[in-house]
Amino acid sequence: MKTRKLSLRVRIFFAMILLILSASILIAAVTIFQFNEQAQNYHKERLERKEENIKRHIDFVIRETTYPVTSEYIPLIFKDEIHKIADIHRLQVNLYDLEGSFLKSSKENIEGITQQKCLSAEILNEISNTPEHRYVEKTVMEGQVYRSSYTFVTDKKFKPLAIVSLPYLENDEMLNQERNEFLMRLGYAYILMLGIAVVLAFLLSKYITKSLKTISDKINETRLEKKNKKIDIDSSSKEIVTLVNSYNSMIDQLEESAIKLATSEREHAWREMAKQVAHEIKNPLTPMRLTVQNFQRKFDAQDPTVQQKVDEYSKTLIQQIDMMSSIASAFSNFAKMPAQQNELLNVVEVANLALDIFSEDYITFECEKEEIIAKFDRSQLIRVITNLVKNAIQAIPEDQHKKRIKIKVFDEDQTVFITVSDNGIGISKEFGEKIFEPKFTTKSSGMGLGLGMVKNIVETYNGSIYFISEAGKETVFTVTFPKSI
């Protein structure tokens, strides 16, 4: 899982938990290291204390002996005393002459200790050349760690007589047990801390992202076509306040832009509508003017056919006037917003009524139910159906052999569906994007207001209209609207 795909809240939560775990592991590692260091220092200092006490005891024996205090008499001086020293101080004592040869041991029968009959040259050099005249060797034998210290035994005048070796076993059982008990208690504390940390991390991450969630929801709800509410957060961090202020400032600018855009669009729409009205009215005015001029030029009161010519001229003028009247009615109907009457009606019955004006035998009507009740204005629903059927009739060429238009009404849950399909020429992708725009048309006659008016009516009732078309085969317009609004 990639980190960037996780939400900010989850990342904050995991970051805090990871921080606690890392700190716990680091503290545990430091604790183990500290225990090991303390154990090493303990063994080092204990060996030094043992060595100091044994050397003091050896000096006492040398002072009290009746034998001559020389290197040759060392085995005799310590024949019995070496066992007493070892027993009192509970540490094995080995004696070597100045050449490194073995002289005496308190436990000569122990294997592995008495096998070292001669000290190495390295040990002798270290004892002789260091200021302390002391050397500590660390060895591992059968899994046990030994520290062996080597130092001189001297007479009263500090003249070296022999070398004393003290093998010391590092027994860490007690220290390890103490360390394990401490780590166990520390582990319990870590588990408790981790549980508390999980709860705190969850609450803290929720608190941190709460303001961001509010801002995100508001941004998702922001729309250009509606009045957007500003964000009001009582208390938050400085960064969140800055972000909120930026959003609120953006809302103010957005409202100003929306007002300017709406004003501009209205002005542009009125200009376009005025141009379209003027253009459509000019079309019948031209033949009317030509007819009148022709009438004036050819009028002859003595012509026996003058009455017939007057009737023909009058008929032509009336036709052009009717066309201008239909143009005015079409623009009036488009500009008039349909009122939501919320009339409870049977959609199937209204659809049948709307289709009664069509006499074409290739128009068929299907419905899954005899009654589908919905709230809609009766006259507006009739206008929707008749406009769609008229468009379907006009989409089929006159010379096409088999014509087919099918109207279907059905419902799904709380939604009503009306489909109008035809097997006409279809709608190209080029025209598909503009088909619902006012004054757009692909026909030689008409003003292109029918589908725009249908879309306007349907959307007023929280519905929608869309189409699926395949060139030269079939076009299906679908209208959907809720049963209740």
| CATH number for the domain that contains residue 382 | 3.30.565.10
Same domain, residue pair 203 and 351: no
Kindly report which listed range (67-71, 192-196, 312-316) carries the lowest average pLDDT score: 312-316
Same domain, residue pair 277 and 415: no
- Examine the pLDDT at 361 and tell me if it is beyond 80: yes
- Cβ contact 344:375 at 8 Å: yes
Residue 323 lies in a domain: yes
- Cβ contact 62:77 at 8 Å: yes
The helix (H) or strand (E) run that includes residue 412 is strand 405-412
Please calculate the CA angle 53-55-58 and round it to the nearest 5 degrees: 110
Please, which pLDDT band fits residue 372 given cuts at 50, 70 and 90? very high
Which has the higher per-residue pLDDT, 405 or 316?
Answer: 405
pLDDT for 110 equals 44
Same domain, residue pair 39 and 101: no
DSSP states of 164-215:
EEEEEE---HHHHHHHHHHHHHHHHHHHHHHHHHHHHHHHHHHHHHHHHHHH
Residue 428 lies in a domain: yes
Domains in the chain: how many in total?
4
- Residue 230 amino acid letter: K
At residue 197, the 3 state secondary structure works out as helix
Same domain, residue pair 297 and 269: yes
- Taking the C-alpha atoms of residue 482 and residue 464, their distance in angstroms, rounded to an integer, is 10
Query: By C-alpha distance, which of 404, 354, 357 is closest to 383?
Result: 354
DSSP character at residue 118: B
Residue 40 lies in a domain: yes
Residue 117 lies in a domain: yes
Residue 232 lies in a domain: no
Residue 78 lies in a domain: no
- Examine the pLDDT at 51 and tell me if it is beyond 60: yes
How many angstroms from the chain centroid is the CA of residue 306?
Answer: 87
Structure tokens at 79: 């024949």
Q: Identify the domain boundary among 274, 300, 335.
A: 335
Residue 80 lies in a domain: no
Please, which pLDDT band fits residue 22 given cuts at 50, 70 and 90? confident
The widest CA-to-CA distance across the chain, in whole angstroms, is: 185
Same domain, residue pair 187 and 38: yes
- Taking the C-alpha atoms of residue 187 and residue 285, their distance in angstroms, rounded to an integer, is 99
pLDDT, tens digit (0-9, with 9 covering 90-100), for 110-153? 444 444 578 888 888 988 888 888 999 888 877 778 888 999 99
Same domain, residue pair 257 and 352: no
Q: Averaging pLDDT over each range in 33-42, 202-211, 436-445, which range is the top one?
A: 33-42
pLDDT, tens digit (0-9, with 9 covering 90-100), for 406-459? 999 999 989 999 999 999 888 877 666 667 765 434 443 333 446 877 888 898
pLDDT, tens digit (0-9, with 9 covering 90-100), for 277-307? 666 666 667 667 767 777 777 777 777 777 8
pLDDT for 217 equals 72
Q: Phi then psi for 364, rounded to 5 degrees?
A: -120, 155
Residue 245 lies in a domain: yes
Q: What is the mean pLDDT of residues 80-90?
A: 90
Same domain, residue pair 317 and 176: no
Same domain, residue pair 356 and 463: yes
Same domain, residue pair 359 and 446: yes
Same domain, residue pair 27 and 134: no
pLDDT for 373 equals 94
Positive or negative, the CA dihedral 241, 247, 253, 259 is: negative
Burial string for 335-347 (b: 16+ CB within 10 Å, else e) reads: eeebeeeeeebbb
pLDDT for 236 equals 59
424: region left, alpha or beta (phi > 0 left; psi from -120 to 50 alpha): beta
Same domain, residue pair 384 and 429: yes
- Cβ contact 334:440 at 8 Å: no
CATH number of the domain enclosing 297 = 1.10.287
Which has the higher per-residue pLDDT, 191 or 9?
Answer: 191
pLDDT for 286 equals 64
CATH number of the domain enclosing 118 = 3.30.450.20
- Taking the C-alpha atoms of residue 234 and residue 241, their distance in angstroms, rounded to an integer, is 9
pLDDT above 90 covers what percent of the chain?
A: 17
Same domain, residue pair 353 and 331: no
Global pTM reads 0.39
**Parent domain of 451:** 344-482
Q: Identify the domain boundary among 317, 335, 353.
A: 335
pLDDT for 114 equals 42
Mutual angle of helices 8-64 and 173-221, in 10-degree steps: 160
